[in-house]
Structure 1
Amino acid sequence: MDLRQCIECGVSFAPHNRRHKFCSSRCQARFKMRRRRLRRQEQGLCPQCGGPMDYPVRIRPDRSGRQKISYCSRCREKWRRKEVKP
């Protein structure tokens, strides 16, 4: 069979059948997670939990130029508590 490029990471791989698009199950899971989060953002939902947003969804660049995504207040509070643990 021909070599293909993974649509997630770009690595060349030999597919087991003609339907394979990913080099591994890890790449497939990453692709699905990213796609799910983007769909949630488009619908105005929290990209992490899928719940309603308390305020408008914002995607803004941080200092490094990467996009920083806003989350609902419940998810933000969960991450703040996780980071503050002594």
Structure 2
Amino acid sequence: MTMVRSLTAVTARLEAATETLAEYIGYLNGEIDAEQDKAEPNAERVEALEQQLDIVIGERRAIMPANLALINRALYIYAPFLKLLRGST
């Protein structure tokens, strides 16, 4: 089923997704920095975080109003994860 959204709704979803990706990038950078600052950093964790960071940066660069799959991933996968993180601090 195709849903018709107003231009305002499309713009709002795009902005929310873009902000979510930016926040997730910040989270990943923070986790990488925190791990690297440890006396004995876990190289595998750093590598996994860096791989995820590369993916999310690519998604951030690719986001466009027509890329609904990416917008939905940001809004329905990444945003709830970040919300849980904010709630635990």
TM-score by length of 1: 0.35
Instruction: Tell me: higher relative CO, structure 1 or 2? Use CA pairs within 8 A at least 6 residues apart.
Output: 2
Which structure carries more helix by proportion? 2
Which structure carries more strand by proportion? 1
Larger Rg: 1
